[in-house]
Chains A and B, each alone.
Chain A
């Protein structure tokens, strides 16, 4: 075995998985996990922990894996993270824990993500209960949104003895884990649901179908329902469009709509009522993780799929692993290409998209080289479906109905990083609602910080 390299992880063959919605990565078995764990040199000053937004004691859990004590390993992770089976799958480890790993200097870093996933899956399959509810302190906290930020914040507060209710706008808890990330990356029944159940085991109540700002306001939560503090983890759900001609044609969707139909409403499964336009030739505009998810979903529904992205491969914001998987499955990348107009037929359906070639100029404020159109390079792609994946911004339903809650020019809620405290007393916020669209684990980190902030606030208050 080459100690400089990760133990390879088994995956479904690209040609096979391109036609199903089963999970792509199959994960380590016990033997592979122990063997990978043995690559960890158990640094005293573990840099990986500093790279983890929720500061999991990584060397300690890996040490337990080495010894074959998988249940102990699960408990170590459980002290810091409520959603390990999720994080082991969707965290960008390469830029966090694994990015700091000493092993990575000379070879490949320890495969911390895959080990975390193994431990979490093993613990679930062996019914290891890591939930340790705290004794009640009689104080009530409302958590808005049941995505990664809300679940983490609620879990930590419940452990500290608070009576926590999560309010979820959709009919199913989980937020982006349920409506956004597809089944083939994050199985819902087997992975997401049990992790949410674990949070409930801590005593957290989840009330679905409640839209804060519509069904009830934050002021009413304080005044009429007796909550002592509120955490806003409502995410960034508003899709952006380009504003080009033809964008309201039939067959043009936001990635949010396309993914929600497939993931939350299970439109990919014929036994569900919700329809989805499968498309024969689909363009996904954008280059982030959501674009890859939409593209790979359309591919699995039987389409030829193009990613249309205005910069080059180097600037693709998606994780390298996602781009690699997409390419393996046969997604076509039309890079340095930008849509100009969507063309429609006489019934208002998409029939094509005029694009222009781009080249990279000087770096812009994001530090990436600015794409500049090449004059006269317009060409037409024949298509029947276009999916816009240009990013999302926070929903104003809460900020517009809560007096004294400051937002910035991007409509993100202004909150202190270390405590989640907003401009309103007793109201805390974190995750995409504060930062704009980011990652699951950063939202979890913010939920954790806010739980601490809320605990300090309520402890000092009484």
Chain B
């Protein structure tokens, strides 16, 4: 029985690849997770076969679209599908938001970047560690596959999900099913705890006396900056995942360069995950603004209110 399935999958894969030539990258499911946050299941057999948590893809919706880097939120290897989550931030993502199940992306490429260390470190070492994940806003999407991977390998991690308000909490049920303990916090207190993710970290460590060996923080740049600052003072080594401007995603353009310690790294091939204590966040945040023209900011203000991404709790500063 098992052999049959395995053989079927091999045939399936070449069929999937063959199909790609005609049908491009078909969207099998589309879902609105929150205001301006969308989820797609996309047919991408080569990527589904080889990707690991922490990696990302680049999508291009049509001839005139930008190449947009997006983290992989989930994957089903034997079905040849990946799940991507994105937030509308510019012209291309706004057009992408209009795609429906049955439509196709012209291009999806990957997996790009280095997989999360926890997936490549020796399992016995990983199993001895206590993990704390901190997800901010749409950053919940890339955190999910890491927590899920640990869960499937017998490691239960604590997860903090932070959002600006209740409506912007995404993937709650999915996360709850794989997390050891899930702590939700909203800036306005409309759901879960009230306050920023850093308040919850302090609560867990200082009030509940929890000890963590590794913190993985993914979300808006400013959230990662303040999380890394706090965890440094708490002596918790912290990994952050950067999502800077990119064009090719293979190390060719250098648009994604980021200063880590004394070195200049390319987030696309050296990252996207780096030691949060060493990342020069201020430079990285300035570089993210490179193509945000005054006009672009106006569109964002109109659509999202006065904050950039929402959900991190530091935006109003």
Known: A169-B109, A215-B50. A257 touches B254 (CB 8 A): yes
Judge whether B247 and A216 touch: CB under 8 Å: no
Query: Closest approach, in angstroms, between the C-beta of A24 and any C-beta of chain B?
Result: 25
Bound-state CA distance A208–B290 (Å) is: 29
User: Taking the complex as formed, is B151 at the interface, i.e. its CB lies under 8 A from any CB of chain A?
Assistant: no
Query: Closest approach, in angstroms, between the C-beta of A38 and any C-beta of chain B?
Result: 45
Residues of A within 8 A of B174 (CB): none
Judge whether A215 and B46 touch: CB under 8 Å: yes
Bound-state CA distance A234–B70 (Å) is: 24
Size class of the contact patch on chain B: 35 or more
Residues of B within 8 A of A214 (CB): 50, 110-112, 250
Residues of A within 8 A of B248 (CB): 169-170, 179, 237, 260
Judge whether B247 and A265 touch: CB under 8 Å: yes
Known: A171-B60, A248-B287. A273 touches B66 (CB 8 A): yes
Map CB proximity to A onto B85-120 as digits: 1 under 8 Å, 0 otherwise.
000001110010000000000111111100000000
Judge whether A253 and B255 touch: CB under 8 Å: yes
Bound-state CA distance A214–B50 (Å) is: 8
User: Taking the complex as formed, is A459 at the interface, i.e. its CB lies under 8 A from any CB of chain B?
Assistant: no
Bound-state CA distance A12–B227 (Å) is: 57
Judge whether A254 and B290 touch: CB under 8 Å: no
Bound-state CA distance A237–B20 (Å) is: 27
Judge whether B289 and A250 touch: CB under 8 Å: yes
The B246-261 residues at the A interface (CB cut-off 8 A) are: 247-248, 250-255, 257-259
Judge whether B67 and A265 touch: CB under 8 Å: yes
Bound-state CA distance A256–B249 (Å) is: 13
Judge whether A348 and B50 touch: CB under 8 Å: no
Option from B250, B258, B264 in Cβ contact (under 8 Å) with A241: B264
Bound-state CA distance A239–B251 (Å) is: 8
The A203-259 residues at the B interface (CB cut-off 8 A) are: 207-211, 214-216, 237-239, 241, 243, 247-248, 250-251, 253-254, 256-257
Map CB proximity to A onto B31-67 as digits: 1 under 8 Å, 0 otherwise.
0000000000000001100100000000010001111
Known: A241-B254, A257-B255. A171 touches B64 (CB 8 A): no
Query: Closest approach, in angstroms, between the C-beta of B257 and any C-beta of chain A?
Result: 6
Most B Cβ at <10 Å: residue of A211, A256, A347:
A211
User: Taking the complex as formed, is A194 at the interface, i.e. its CB lies under 8 A from any CB of chain B?
Assistant: no
Judge whether B259 and A216 touch: CB under 8 Å: no
The A253-275 residues at the B interface (CB cut-off 8 A) are: 253-254, 256-257, 260-261, 265-266, 271-275
Known: A248-B257, A257-B247, A275-B291. A395 touches B64 (CB 8 A): no
Most A Cβ at <10 Å: residue of B46, B108, B289:
B46
Judge whether B110 and A215 touch: CB under 8 Å: yes
User: Taking the complex as formed, is B269 at the interface, i.e. its CB lies under 8 A from any CB of chain A?
Assistant: yes
Residues of B within 8 A of A241 (CB): 254, 257, 264
Option from A247, A261, A272, A277 in Cβ contact (under 8 Å) with B64: A272
Judge whether A348 and B46 touch: CB under 8 Å: no
Most A Cβ at <10 Å: residue of B47, B254, B291:
B254
Known: A239-B253, A347-B286, A348-B286. A271 touches B64 (CB 8 A): yes
Map CB proximity to B onto A163-186 as digits: 1 under 8 Å, 0 otherwise.
000000111000000010000000
User: Taking the complex as formed, is A397 at the interface, i.e. its CB lies under 8 A from any CB of chain B?
Assistant: yes
User: Taking the complex as formed, is B121 at the interface, i.e. its CB lies under 8 A from any CB of chain A?
Assistant: no
Map CB proximity to B onto A324-361 as digits: 1 under 8 Å, 0 otherwise.
00000000000000000000000110000000000000
Judge whether B253 and A208 touch: CB under 8 Å: no
Bound-state CA distance A253–B269 (Å) is: 18
Residues of B within 8 A of A257 (CB): 247, 253-255
User: Taking the complex as formed, is B207 at the interface, i.e. its CB lies under 8 A from any CB of chain A?
Assistant: no
Residues of B within 8 A of A169 (CB): 109, 248, 250
The B104-148 residues at the A interface (CB cut-off 8 A) are: 106-112
Judge whether A237 and B251 touch: CB under 8 Å: yes
Judge whether A171 and B250 touch: CB under 8 Å: no
Judge whether B259 and A248 touch: CB under 8 Å: yes
Judge whether B255 and A211 touch: CB under 8 Å: no
Residues of A within 8 A of B47 (CB): 215
The B238-282 residues at the A interface (CB cut-off 8 A) are: 247-248, 250-255, 257-259, 264, 269
Judge whether B110 and A171 touch: CB under 8 Å: no
Map CB proximity to A onto B196-233 as digits: 1 under 8 Å, 0 otherwise.
00000000000000000000000000000000000000
Bound-state CA distance A347–B282 (Å) is: 11
Judge whether B66 and A265 touch: CB under 8 Å: yes
A206's nearest neighbour on chain B, judged by CB, is: B21
Residues of B within 8 A of A256 (CB): 252-254
Option from A243, A250, A277, A395 in Cβ contact (under 8 Å) with B252: A395
Known: A215-B110, A215-B111, A347-B286. A397 touches B254 (CB 8 A): no
User: Taking the complex as formed, is B152 at the interface, i.e. its CB lies under 8 A from any CB of chain A?
Assistant: no
Residues of B within 8 A of A254 (CB): 253-255
Residues of A within 8 A of B67 (CB): 171, 265, 274
Residues of A within 8 A of B251 (CB): 237-238, 395, 397
Judge whether A209 and B108 touch: CB under 8 Å: yes
Residues of B within 8 A of A274 (CB): 66-67, 247
User: Taking the complex as formed, is B283 at the interface, i.e. its CB lies under 8 A from any CB of chain A?
Assistant: yes
9 additional A-B pairs beyond A170-B109, A179-B252, beta carbons within 8 Å, are A169-B250, A209-B108, A237-B250, A241-B257, A257-B247, A273-B91, A274-B66, A274-B67, A397-B251
22 inter-chain pairs at a CB distance below 8 angstroms, sorted by A residue, are: A170-B109, A207-B20, A211-B112, A214-B50, A214-B110, A215-B46, A216-B50, A247-B264, A248-B264, A248-B287, A250-B289, A251-B290, A256-B252, A260-B247, A260-B248, A272-B64, A273-B64, A348-B287, A348-B289, A395-B250, A397-B250, A397-B251
- Top 5 A-B pairs ranked by shortest CB distance? A348-B286, A257-B253, A209-B109, A171-B107, A254-B254
